[in-house]
Structure 1
Amino acid sequence: MSASNNTANVAKAANAGSLSPNSSYLLLAIETSCDETSVAVVRDGRNVLSNIISSQIDTHRQFGGVVPEIASRKHVESITIIVEEAIREADISLENIDAVAVTQGPGLIGALLVGVVAAKSLSLALDVPLIGTHHIAGHIYANHLIGDIVYPALALVVSGGHTELVLLEQEGKFRIIGRTRDDAVGEAYDKVARALQFPYPGGPYVDKLAQEATEEVVLPRSWLEPDSYDFSFSGLKSAVLAEINRSRMKGESPDFSALARGFQNSVIDVVTVKAMKAAKEFGVKQMLLCGGVAANKGLRERLASLCGDVGLPLLIPTNKLCTDNAAMIAAAADLKWRRGEFSTLDLKAEPILSLEDWSVGS
């Protein structure tokens, strides 16, 4: 089908019967950007009727990280089953679905393709609009599932593949003001966890050990240029490895708990100080924490304390909504639905999709 024909098709589907982009509607969302296969059914972008997540952690743990080809195959095996389970838990039928959303990017190309093909097939079969959605927009708007977002807002995005400060001057408009220049926070956690002899994914283990530690190995903070909101964590990771090697060269056992605490405090100091500085500079009315690492207890507590000190409202999703999930994709896709901004059937998976370019009205 040509792009022009499909544009007419989705426009017709969106306005068929009593529905319009401003009416109450049911959206089925699909997320397959990495190693979770997730499908959700959400009413009006906020009321989650089902949010099924099938994790591949046990499969990838033996390799110490995500193997892209294996992830893709697992998505192929799971996607139909997870769609059926999401529909069953929502207590609806597929014919009740008014639109289909899917993570278009960023992510692993093979994994993304599975979700995109499934979403296109459903959109075509059900004759309903298709909405290609940005994965990070999903993490940010996961906050909209638990409370109202007040603009301008600042989102601190911390995940396995992303560490960014995103300014939202208005609904659905994203401006990245800072990003990591090397490792993302989650990536750094996993690499340090491996050095501390924890299994993949290691972030929760490092967080727990840091919380329990009674001593701390003080590690460097990478602030970069005085006016920069960018991040860098590769040097911190190297500092942890250097401390372990130094202890072993002396014939001593490394103090893993003190190292975990030192590593976590360094990460938290840098991301929270920069976030609070940006919040003040841009005069935001709300702070949003999002991404897989937003489940980190130490980070949640520190940011809540700092925001509380200056009276800045803070939203943090529940732990289930911090990880990759389809409900967050539905929350972001709602931005496009309400404006009638639908995708055509020539939608492509884009592993490096730009968040700013995905903004509404783009």
Structure 2
Amino acid sequence: MSEYRVLGIETSCDETAAAIVTSKAADGARFAPGKLRILSQALVSQIEDHSPYGGVVPEIAARAHLDILDSLVRRALDDAGLTLEGIDAFAATAGPGLIGGVLVGVMTAKALALVTGKPFLGVNHLEAHALSVRLVEPVTFPYLLLLVSGGHSQFLAVEGVGTCRRLGTTIDDAPGEAFDKVAKMLGLGHPGGPRVERRARDGDPQRFPLPRPMVGRPGCDLSFSGLKTAVRQTVEKLGRPTEADINDLCASFQEAVAGCLASRTRAAIRLFSERHGTGRPLVIAGGVAANTRIREALDAVARDCAMTFHAPPVSLCTDNAAMVACAGLERLALGLTDPLDFKARPRWPLDPDAPPSIGAGRARA
């Protein structure tokens, strides 16, 4: 066999998704990075369900996944022109994430694997993000990854499938969470990232002198809680911000985040290069990687440091099933399948050997 077809399922937060990805390449390889093909994608967002609450409600998310997932799997199969017998393995996000939703996806994939007699693949959601760039670009190991999303922020040396070494992480909040909180302060609604970026386009990024936490400190850890506090204090001083005030504050906040990430990425590159040499790829992934200004800042850093810069398409930055199927393909090609008693995990670090984070900030405790 020179081809695999994997059906991936994503239910870790507020996106319900199913996708089928094939590994068929011109050279006949079972897995060739950058030469995979998405046969179908089906996704339903729960944004409207959670908007009244200003964030994701786990119970609502789990019930929504349960209601819609079967029909999305059927749609993915129909769009690809396949039946269950045409699928070689079933992959699902098995953690980390909201455990109720994760269980819906895992149990669905296990059931499909059981009735078809095909392999089951429990995929780490963070690794799916980490490997997503290899779906569309021939990025080879090792590479330096900045993984930034609503719940995660870390620098990782991605040395192979299942092998990541953490170089730095947030000591408190993730940037995506900061974007959401700032949007809430300004009355922009949920999700915050795209709304803040949209308003920032019409703003002055130099108007409000916001701090750049952790810049200049040893290592490459990150922090965003102080930046959130500075935005809140600015809003309080403004009283009732005008539309122009909101645009300028969004632009200033976005510029501060981009500046922090750029500076800490330079520090991470130094640490990464000590072990892996220079000229390796720099990759950004996760929901915040969809932000245009942050991409521009990281691209400039890569050029300055003689590295190539890579980012998945915007559609593959936010949670999706194609990246889960891609990670499943990587594992399947190496024979790394999982038993049907594999347990879903609300927490699942990419680097299990990283030192404990307790005491370094509330989110790391």
TM normalised by structure 2 equals 0.88
1:339 aligns with 2:334: yes
Structure 1 residue aligned with 2:247, among 210, 234, 257? Answer: 257
Larger relative contact order, structure 1 or 2 (CA cutoff 8 Å, min sep 6): 1
- Stretches of structure 1 lacking an aligned partner (at least 5 in a row): 1-18
Does the 8 Å CA contact 2:18/2:43 hold for their aligned counterparts?
Answer: yes
Corresponding residue of 2:229: 238
**1:36–1:54 contact (8 Å) kept in structure 2:** yes
The 8 Å contact of residues 172 and 335 in structure 1, kept in 2 or not, is answered as: no
The runs of at least 4 aligned residues of structure 1 exceeding 4 Å deviation read: 251-254
Give the secondary-structure state (helix, strand or coil) at the position aligned to 1:29. strand
Q: Distance in 2 between matches of 1:205 and 1:48?
A: 29
1:222 corresponds to 2:222:
no
Aligned to 2:143: 153
Structure 1 residues 67 and 252 mapped into 2: Cα distance closer, same or farther (>3 Å)?
Answer: closer
CA distance in 2, matches of 1:108, 1:295: 22
Task: Indicate which of 190, 193, 205 corresponds to 1:200.
Answer: 190
> The residue matched to 2:255 in structure 1 has which SS?
helix
What letter is aligned with 1:197? G
Secondary structure of 2:71 counterpart: helix
Q: Is 1:25 matched with 2:25? A: no
For the 8 Å contact 2:11–2:104, the answer to whether it is kept is yes
Identity of aligned residues (%): 40
Length, aligned pairs only: 335
Per the TM alignment, residue 339 of structure 1 is displaced from its structure 2 partner at its CA by: 1.8
In structure 2, do the counterparts of structure 1 residues 194 and 252 end up closer, same or farther at CA, with 3 Å as the change threshold? closer
- Residue 338 of structure 1 deviates from its aligned partner by 1.6
1:224–1:230: 8 Å Cα contact kept in structure 2?
A: no
Cα offsets for 1:179-237 (capped at 9, x unmatched)? 11211111100000011110100111111222221352010111177222111111110
In 2: Cα distance, 1:84 partner to 1:331 partner = 19
Instruction: Give the distance between the partners of 2:309 and 2:21, measured in 1 at CA.
Output: 24
**1:140 aligns to what?**
130
Which one-letter code corresponds to 2:40 in the other structure?
S
User: Structure 2: 5+ residue runs without aligned partners?
Assistant: 24-30, 354-365
Distance 1:280 1:147 in 2: 24
| Superposition RMSD in Å | 1.8
Q: Which amino acid aligns with 1:28?
A: L
1:117 correspondence with 2:112: no
Cα distance in 2 for residues equivalent to 1:87 and 1:133 = 20
Distance 1:322 1:171 in 2: 19
**Equivalent residue for 2:41?**
51
Amino acid at match of 1:82: L
- 1:141, CA displacement in angstroms? 1.1
Map 1:287-326; keep pairs closer than 5 Å.
287-326=282-321
CA distance in 1, matches of 2:13, 2:246: 29
Distance 1:252 1:47, change over 3 A: closer
CA distance in 2, matches of 1:207, 1:101: 33
**TM-score normalised by length of structure 1:** 0.88
> Which residue identity is paired with 1:331?
C
User: How many Å apart are 1:252 and its aligned residue?
Assistant: 7.2
| Cα distance in structure 2, aligned partners of 1:93 and 1:169 | 35
Equivalent residue for 1:280, pick from 270, 278, 289: 270
Q: 8 Å contact 2:99–2:346 — kept in the other structure?
A: yes
SS of corresponding position for 1:344: coil
Distance across 1 between alignment mates of 2:202 and 2:296? 15
Question: Aligned in 2, Cα 1:59/1:217: closer, same or farther, shift over 3 Å?
Answer: same
Q: CA deviation at 1:79?
A: 0.6
Does the residue aligned with 2:282 lie in a helix, a strand or coil? Answer: strand
Contact 1:138 1:328 in 2 (8 A): yes
Contact 2:155 2:168 in 1 (8 A): yes
Shift of 1:51: 1.7
Determine if contact 1:211/1:298 at 8 Å carries over to the other structure: no
Q: Return the alpha-carbon distance in structure 2 between the equivalents of residues 213 and 247 of structure 1.
A: 16
Deviation, 1:83, is 0.1
Once residues 94 and 339 of structure 1 are traced to their aligned partners in structure 2, the CA distance between those partners, rounded to angstroms, is: 22
Q: Deviations over 1:76-125 (max 9, x none)?
A: 00110000000011111111111111101000000001001101100000
CA pair 170-79 structure 1, distance change in 2 beyond 3 A: closer
Structure 1, 39-48 or 169-178: larger mean CA deviation: 169-178
1:327 aligned residue: 322
* 348-357 or 320-329, larger mean C-alpha shift: 348-357
Quote the offset at 1:293 in angstroms: 0.8
